């Protein structure tokens, strides 16, 4: 089975993240229109459940994003976290089916 998330970023790039699990290994496939994301994708093709459960400062999802020089406002690492956590059973697919989108909303005063 696989889990897939899509991200449409403010920078006008589209990214598709797919995760599949085999034992304690999660395989990550990222397709994107962004060259930086393509470089990032090569660094996180295979992660363990133990790795994805680490805190942000020690989590390869985020440390590899920094190494790839992704901007701090890039949504893709968060999407990778959600995708891998969902595939590992750490986020409920039933919950996601009821609330399929996570949003950051701008409110102008």
Q: Mean pLDDT of residues grouped by 10 in the chain (109 residues)?
A: 92 96 97 96 97 97 96 95 97 90 84
pTM of the complete model: 0.93
Residue 51 pLDDT:
98
What is the rounded distance in angstroms from the CA atom of residue 39 to the CA atom of residue 16? 14
H or E element at residue 3: strand 2-8
Q: Tokens 């595939």 belong to which residue?
A: 87
Residue 37 pLDDT:
97
Q: Does residue 6 contact residue 76 with C-beta atoms inside 8 Å?
A: no
Residues in the chain: 109
């Amino acid at each position: 089975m696989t889990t897939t998330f899509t991200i449409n970023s403010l920078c006008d790039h589209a990214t598709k993240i797919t995760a599949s699990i085999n034992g304690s290994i999660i395989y990550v496939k990222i397709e994107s229109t962004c060259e930086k994301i393509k470089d990032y994708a090569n660094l996180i093709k295979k992660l363990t459940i133990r790795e994805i459960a680490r805190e942000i400062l020690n989590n390869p999802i985020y440390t590899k994003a920094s190494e790839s020089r992704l901007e701090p406002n890039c949504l893709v690492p968060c999407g990778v976290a959600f995708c891998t956590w969902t595939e590992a059973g750490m986020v409920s697919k039933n919950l996601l089916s009821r609330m399929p989108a996570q949003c950051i909303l701008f409110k102008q005063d």
